[in-house]
Amino acid sequence: MKSFVFPGNIEPEILEIGARQIPYMRTEAFSAIVKECEQIMLELMGCPGGRVIFYTASGTAAMDATVACYVSTRKKALAIAGGSFGHRWHSLCKYYHVPCDVFEVPFAKDIDYEALEKMMQTSQPDVLLCQHHETSSGELFNIDEISRLCKKYNITLVVDAISSFLADSYNMSRSGVDMTIISSQKGLNIPPGLSFIILSSKISEQEFKHLNFYLDFEENLKNLVRGQTPYSPATTIFLQLHARLKMIQKNGIAPILQKIRENALHFRQRCKENNWQIPAETPSNCITGFYVKKDGYAIFKELLKKEIFVMPGGINNFLRVSHLGCQTPEDCDMLAKSIKNIENTL
């Protein structure tokens, strides 16, 4: 099986943990694992003195919690929407009745930062919600530029870095980010099922609202002091997370980013040769989104028969290919060749 979707192919060391018996988690040994995970994540995120909340749930739950527990304490939000993930911020705010304006960004385009500044002046939000990488198109936004504007207008910055963390360079203190959301099945390259909120010290010390029982910040933070989650954690995925974080801590983030970038650039070269157009103005390393020449959904289904997984977009003939996980330039060549062959038969 060759996976060009999330989380990508996973190395045997991590997969093997998933085949083991599951230990009891209300123990000192498991607490130590959770606490070490928190400490390494804060290190990798560049968030000294911060806190990490762990949820046994997919990434959207961490976005949900952010709005229910934190954004709801503020008067007004502004969401940057460059695709379906940006619109999800707006939907969550509507769900919890939090006033939220939307700054629309055209598909696969970068933000017009001057227009964003104007919107900040008229909308006067106290919290900004955005994605670092809008995964539906492949477009990477400039967090430093967004952050500069947030500072100027005293707006708290909340970033969904789910598909950019460990694919593109990301550092909370360097970029002045107050709160970050990530999940297990993207850059961490472990199974789906865990999501995380990284709170800077400025945010973690404040009061939160209690609009969601399971995701409640205060209850989760209280339990995490002793290295426990209030409810049953996905124990196995925690063990895989711990093993993954130890690996990253040992070798650093740089080689991971470099490998993903190499694969992305290699595949994009193949796209160019095949006249598959890439719409993203500033593409993230995480995925390549591109237009094929023939029926994209038919290509997706033909690839499935060979156990090659890519993501069909919601848009006609737009395919997305992830570069996360175990992948080599040869894999990218194989994929490009397979797509080309299918195109020729359609």
Ligand X SMILES: *Cc1c(COP(=O)(O)O)cnc(C)c1O
Instruction: Give the residue with the Cβ less far from ligand X, 236 or 322.
Output: 322
Shortest Å distance, C-beta 207 to ligand X = 26
Shortest Å distance, C-beta 346 to ligand X = 29
Instruction: Give the residue with the Cβ less far from ligand X, 133 or 268.
Output: 133
Interface residues with ligand X (CB under 6 A)? 58-60, 85, 131, 135, 160, 162-163, 183, 186
User: How many Å from the N-terminal Cα to the C-terminal Cα in the chain?
Assistant: 24
Shortest Å distance, C-beta 193 to ligand X = 9
Shortest Å distance, C-beta 291 to ligand X = 20
Instruction: Give the residue with the Cβ less far from ligand X, 5 or 298.
Output: 5
CA gyration radius, the chain = 20
Cβ atoms of residues 280 and 311 within 8 Å:
no
Residues 309 and 6: their CA atoms lie apart, in Å, by 10
Residues 321 and 323: their CA atoms lie apart, in Å, by 7
Of residues 180, 194, 294, 273, the one with CA closest to residue 237? 194
Instruction: Give the residue with the Cβ less far from ligand X, 66 or 183.
Output: 183
Shortest Å distance, C-beta 94 to ligand X = 17
Q: Dig out the tokens for 285 from the structure.
A: 């390393």
In sequence order, what DSSP letters do the residues of 207-244 get, joined into one string? Answer: ------TTT-HHHHHHHHTTT--SS---HHHHHHHHHH
Instruction: Give the residue with the Cβ less far from ligand X, 5 or 253.
Output: 5
> Is beta strand 51-56 parallel, antiparallel or unpaired with respect to 194-199?
antiparallel
Instruction: Give the residue with the Cβ less far from ligand X, 186 or 242.
Output: 186
Residues 312 and 316: their CA atoms lie apart, in Å, by 9
Residue whose beta carbon is closest to ligand X: 59
**C-alpha of 67 from chain center:** 17
Shortest Å distance, C-beta 63 to ligand X = 6
Instruction: Give the residue with the Cβ less far from ligand X, 135 or 240.
Output: 135
Shortest Å distance, C-beta 138 to ligand X = 11
Q: What is the dihedral of CA 143, 147, 148, 153, to 10 degrees?
A: 150
By CB neighbour count within 10 A (0-12 exposed, 13-18 middle, 19+ buried), where does 106 fall?
middle
For residue 283, the 8-state DSSP code is B
